[in-house]
């Protein structure tokens, strides 16, 4: 008998699950219907700042698979412009609103994939009705922002509110567009995911390209005239603005799940097991930015919304839906970005995280170069490591550098994943040639210094 899978959410987690399930089960065995409230499927939201900034010219380059491909090649019934408004687990039915044609549709399901993603943090003062105020979480929002930037009168002054990954990337994008840019953040430094002594390097780089970075700054409201934003009001005064970009972070989009009775964890995400099955609810899976996951360093629940996790979790769910067996092994919190030619990377715990988790640790910072010092193009980088005081186990790493720095976080993430000590890391057999590394790679220098610090502390 043919089963019916309903997928709520047409981006990474949902469509990865649908595609993987289809590989195992044909259309005669499994009917798949996917509901997406926007106009696109399976796209790279992480690429939006680079598209807005002009580094990526074509919006379609950000789309991995369009709805037509899913329909024709994968036999997945993708319904764009449909927002699921309720889930009835007893009746095994969803209700969706047709945002284009109007009206509602009711669709039964045997199996359900919940992949609603994240909702942007939007304080009351944000006033989404004001012209010139934008989030950049979706391609639709990116398109609207670009239309505003290219419209008349052309904006000259941009204010970016929030100094996390999206905020700093959008500040750089506005610089590329030729606007004067002010970035506001309530924290001590932008990039609060980094320790303050590393985040200050990011601030310096932003300031050097002309971005006015104001930290410890609380926004209280917006000013408008003729339906257009004219400024951002802060406790320290008014900052003129022709366009305002919100980069205040996200939270799990779980209102629909909570209303349906799906369990939520302490981070606010849907609770799932290692196979991405919603705990305590038969025939329901969840993946992506709406779920809570497992942190391999702390052993605690974690919320880390990244496209890499969403795709992997969706694949795991799809294998399980297809009758196979797979598990998602958790995360260590690896992330990289580029800010004004400065590469920024982190994995594992920062000092605040390690303290909150109850670890006693040592931390070290080293300065090195991306290549042999005598080789043309050698660029400085700073690496910081945290290690548990007694065992020497690596707890976290952060890197800031000008060139060829960010991807050095990968061997550190692998070491962290495998619970290596910093002493063990000093012997890693990393590649060496003058165009690529000093004879002592910066990762090895940092590990050696961390090992010395552990020995001195025990």
**Which CATH number covers residue 376?**
3.30.390.30
Q: Find tokens 């610089």 and name the residue.
A: 175
Count Cα neighbours of 118 within 13 Å in the Cβ-side half-sphere. 25
Give, in order, the Cα–Cα distances in Å from 287 to each of 104, 136, 252, 296.
Answer: 26, 21, 11, 18
329: in domain: no
User: Is there a single domain that holds both residue 450 and residue 380?
Assistant: yes
The reported pTM is 0.94
Cα–Cα distance for residue pair 89/72, rounded to 1 Å: 30
* pLDDT tens per residue across span 392-409: 999 999 999 998 999 999
* pLDDT tens per residue across span 316-339: 999 999 999 999 999 999 999 998
User: Is there a single domain that holds both residue 235 and residue 136?
Assistant: yes
**Which SS3 state, helix, strand or coil, does residue 2 take?**
coil
Whether the CB-CB separation of 6 and 33 falls below 8 Å is answered with yes
Cα–Cα distance for residue pair 5/250, rounded to 1 Å: 28
> How much of the chain is in helix, strand and coil states, percent to nearest 5?
30, 30, 40
Kindly indicate the confidence band of residue 122, based on its pLDDT and cuts at 50, 70 and 90. Answer: confident
Percentage of residues in the chain having pLDDT higher than 70: 100
User: Is there a single domain that holds both residue 195 and residue 181?
Assistant: yes
Nearest to 307 by CA among 71, 69, 43, 87: 43
User: Is there a single domain that holds both residue 275 and residue 377?
Assistant: no
**Which SS3 state, helix, strand or coil, does residue 441 take?**
coil
User: Is there a single domain that holds both residue 222 and residue 310?
Assistant: no
Q: How many domains does the chain have?
A: 3
* pLDDT tens per residue across span 233-263: 999 999 999 999 999 999 999 999 999 999 9
- The pLDDT of residue 128 is 65
Question: Burial of 59 by CB count in 10 Å (0-12 exposed, 13-18 middle, 19+ buried)?
Answer: middle
Q: Give the lowest-confidence range in 98-107, 119-128, 174-183, 353-362.
A: 119-128
User: Is there a single domain that holds both residue 361 and residue 313?
Assistant: no
Q: φ and ψ at 450, to 5 degrees?
A: -65, -40
Catalytic residue (one of 46, 217, 290, 340): 46
Question: Burial of 402 by CB count in 10 Å (0-12 exposed, 13-18 middle, 19+ buried)?
Answer: middle
User: Is there a single domain that holds both residue 350 and residue 450?
Assistant: yes
For residue 153, count other CB atoms closer than 10 A to its CB: 7
**Beta bridge mates, 243:** 158
User: Is there a single domain that holds both residue 135 and residue 228?
Assistant: yes
Whether the CB-CB separation of 138 and 160 falls below 8 Å is answered with no
Give, in order, the Cα–Cα distances in Å from 272 to each of 59, 284, 320, 333.
Answer: 34, 10, 13, 18
Domain range for 67 is: 3-41+63-118+251-321
Q: What is the DSSP letter of 393?
A: B
Known active-site residue 46 = yes
Count Cα neighbours of 242 within 13 Å in the Cβ-side half-sphere. 14
Domain boundary among the residues 215, 248, 281 is at 248
User: Is there a single domain that holds both residue 181 and residue 215?
Assistant: yes
User: Is there a single domain that holds both residue 350 and residue 404?
Assistant: yes
Helical spans, DSSP H, in 322-405: 351-356
């Amino acid at each position: 008998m043919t089963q019916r899978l309903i997928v709520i959410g047409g981006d990474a987690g949902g469509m990865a699950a649908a595609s993987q399930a289809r590989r195992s089960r044909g259309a005669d065995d499994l009917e798949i219907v996917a509901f997406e409230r926007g106009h696109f499927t399976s796209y790279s939201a992480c690429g939006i700042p680079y598209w807005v900034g002009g580094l990526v010219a074509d919006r379609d380059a950000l789309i991995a698979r369009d709805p037509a491909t899913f329909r024709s090649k994968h036999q997945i019934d993708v319904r764009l412009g449909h927002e699921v408004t309720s889930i009835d687990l007893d009746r095994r039915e969803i209700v969706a609103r047709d945002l284009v044609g109007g009206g509602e549709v009711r669709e039964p399901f045997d199996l359900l994939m919940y992949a609603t993603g994240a909702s942007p943090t939007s304080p009351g003062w944000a006033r989404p009705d004001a012209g010139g105020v934008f989030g950049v979480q979706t391609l639709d929002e990116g398109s609207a922002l670009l239309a505003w930037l290219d419209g008349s009168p052309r904006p000259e002054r941009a204010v970016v509110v929030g100094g996390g990954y999206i905020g700093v990337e959008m500040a750089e994008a506005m610089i590329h567009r030729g606007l004067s840019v002010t970035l506001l953040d309530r924290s001590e430094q932008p990039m609060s995911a980094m320790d303050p002594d590393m985040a200050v390097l990011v601030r310096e780089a932003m300031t050097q390209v002309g971005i006015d970075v104001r930290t410890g700054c609380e926004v209280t409201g917006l000013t408008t005239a003729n339906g257009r934003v004219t400024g951002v009001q802060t406790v320290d005064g008014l900052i003129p603005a022709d366009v305002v970009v919100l980069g205040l972070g996200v939270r799990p989009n779980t209102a629909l799940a909570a209303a349906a009775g799906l369990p939520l964890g302490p981070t606010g995400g849907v609770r799932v097991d290692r196979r991405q099955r919603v705990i305590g609810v038969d025939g329901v899976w969840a993946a992506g930015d709406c779920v809570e996951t497992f942190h391999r360093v702390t052993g605690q629940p974690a919320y880390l919304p990244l496209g890499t996790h969403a795709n992997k979790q969706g694949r795991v769910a799809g294998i399980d839906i297809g009758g196979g067996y797979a598990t998602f092994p958790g995360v260590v919190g690896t992330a990289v970005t580029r800010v004004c030619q400065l590469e920024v990377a982190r994995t594992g715990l920062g000092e605040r995280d390690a303290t909150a988790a109850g670890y006693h640790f040592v931390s070290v910072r080293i300065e090195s170069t991306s290549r042999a010092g005598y080789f043309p193009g050698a660029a400085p980088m700073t690496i910081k490591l945290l290690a548990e005081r007694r065992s020497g186990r690596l707890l976290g790493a952060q890197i800031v550098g000008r060139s060829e720095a960010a991807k050095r976080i990968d061997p550190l993430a692998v070491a962290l994943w495998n619970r290596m000590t910093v002493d063990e890391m000093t012997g890693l057999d990393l590649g060496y040639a003058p165009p690529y590394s000093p004879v002592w790679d910066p990762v090895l220098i940092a590990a050696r210094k961390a090992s010395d610090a552990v020995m001195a502390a025990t």
